[in-house]
Structure 1
Amino acid sequence: MNAIVFDLELIKRFRKGQLSEIVEIGACKVSLNEKKIIDQFQIYITPKSGYVSKSTRKFIKMTKEDLKNAVTFHQGIHQFANWLGDDYFLCAWGKDDKAHIINQCVRNKINLDWFKNYNDIQKQIGELLVVDNNSQIGLKNALNIAGIEPVGKAHRGIDDAINTAHLLLKFIDTLKFNKNNVTNKEISQQFIKNKQTIQQNKIYQASVSKQ
């Protein structure tokens, strides 16, 4: 059984009604038996517009060459799903990445059967690092408290995934991994959220045209 530790980076949004879009997927495959990283995955994804702002590229350390090699969301998510293998737990630092995956797959009518056994390891590890912690602990802070020297650059998907995997490995004997599937309620919530965002965009466009 493997744990897939993944991290997403998104385009920066500048106004209401702008849909969130995944621009990078970084992931590590951790063997729970061998207790080590056995593979890595990283891919850049082109937004629907085909344009990634300079501020986004600077924030996630994405070069112009990276943008040239980026693939569509359909291609990227299918490559990621195929790389996962057959038996795995999906792990991320927090709940946001799960919501973003579901949201964009719903928007693009992509089957979510592969998105299973999701575990938010931020909560579990945060409780181990900070006693009586009622707030979410950031990745950088968690690494510092755990005594783990971070690798790479913050806000780069593959580097954040590697650093999160190192945290998982440090506490691997304590963590509990749950099996689950995406529920119809979660899909409906993201479907409604997309409709609301699109409506906000229509209102914004109408207000701009009147100016």
Structure 2
Amino acid sequence: MEPALLNVVDVEATCWDGQPPPGQVSEIIEIGLTVVDLSSLRRVGRHRVLVRPQRSTVSAFCTELTGLTQSEVATGLSFADACRLLAAEHRAGRRPWASWGDYDRLQFTRQCGATGTAYPFGRHHTNAKAAFTEAHGLRKRPGMARALELAGLPLEGRHHSGADDAWNIAALVLALARTGNWPPPQPH
């Protein structure tokens, strides 16, 4: 049987305690990607792409939150190269993808538009937070850490690490898939 692969994506972006400094904008600095095989119900790949910001720097607040430093992300790929890598190595344009909420999808849309970079993903995106909320009959959409608690799953690694968060979101996706609550991909 052909594997039904899904890319689970989580990004971290430059951030500040309050408003960004004048002239700076929030930019993706890490892309975490976990490949899920929905036919075998397993996580089959774990990837981390560091992205070098062009219009902002990593604040002390951002380092405290994500663990990422300016010197670390300075070694990353340009945003355009990171998008090309997603398309070439992870079949981002053809494979359905998911993220926890719409922040990641919207951040890619904004940053691609602002930089003239081709959007790397296809139209089939699933908001895993909405799927989880619906499957569990919740009134409020929980954050990822709370959803893991509700699902009885451990938080593996560091919260607000793109690679670790994508891994944990993938565990939530698989929990939904095992109970028949993972929706088929819908175009956006």
Query: Shorter-chain TM-score: which interval?
Result: 0.7 to 0.9
* Amino acid aligned to 1:4: N
Deviation at 1:88, TM superposition (A): 1.8
Aligned residue in 2 for 1:208: none
1:134 CA drift (Å): 2.7
Structural RMSD (CA): 2.0
- Please name the residue that 2:15 is paired with: 12
| Cα contact 1:89–1:177 (8 A) shared by 2 | no
Question: TM-score with structure 1 length normalisation?
Answer: 0.77
Matches within 5 A, 1:67-86: 67-85=73-91
- Aligned pairs for 1:39-188 within 5 A: 39-49=45-55, 51-63=57-69, 66-85=72-91, 87-112=94-119, 114-129=121-136, 131=137, 133-172=138-177, 173-181=180-188
CA contact (8 A) 1:5 1:28 kept: yes
Shift of 1:151: 0.3
Distance 1:9 1:142 in 2: 19
Tell me the amino acid that sits aligned with residue 185 of structure 2: N
For 1:28 and 1:76, locate their aligned partners in 2 and report how far apart those are by CA, in whole Å. 15
Aligned to 2:30: 24
User: Does the C-alpha gap of structure 1 residues 8 and 113 become closer, same or farther in structure 2, counting only changes over 3 Å?
Assistant: closer
- Cα deviation, 1:98-137, whole Å, max 9, x if unaligned, reads 11000000111122363320110111112223x3x23221
Aligned AA (2:6):
A
Divergent runs of 4+, >3 A: none
Q: Once structures 1 and 2 are overlaid, which stretch shifts more, 138-147 or 17-26?
A: 17-26
Give the 3 Å change call, closer, same or farther, for CA 4–121 of structure 1 in structure 2. same
Aligned residues of 1:27 and 1:40 also touching (Cα < 8 A): yes
Q: Which has the higher helix share?
A: 1
Q: Which runs of 5+ in 1 are unaligned?
A: 182-211
Please list every run of 5 or more consecutive structure 2 residues that lacks an aligned counterpart in the other structure.
none
- Output the CA distance in 2 between the equivalents of 1:50 and 1:113: 22
Bigger Cα displacement from structure 2, 83-92 vs 102-111: 83-92
Question: Shift in Å at residue 73 of structure 1?
Answer: 0.8
Q: Deviations over 1:154-205 (max 9, x none)?
A: 0110111000000111111321122315xxxxxxxxxxxxxxxxxxxxxxxx
Distance 1:152 1:117 in 2: 28
% identity of equivalent residues: 22
Question: Which stretch has the larger CA shift, 171-180 or 149-158?
Answer: 171-180
Cα distance, 1:142–1:153 mapped onto 2, change above 3 Å: same
- 1:88 aligns to what SS in structure 2? coil
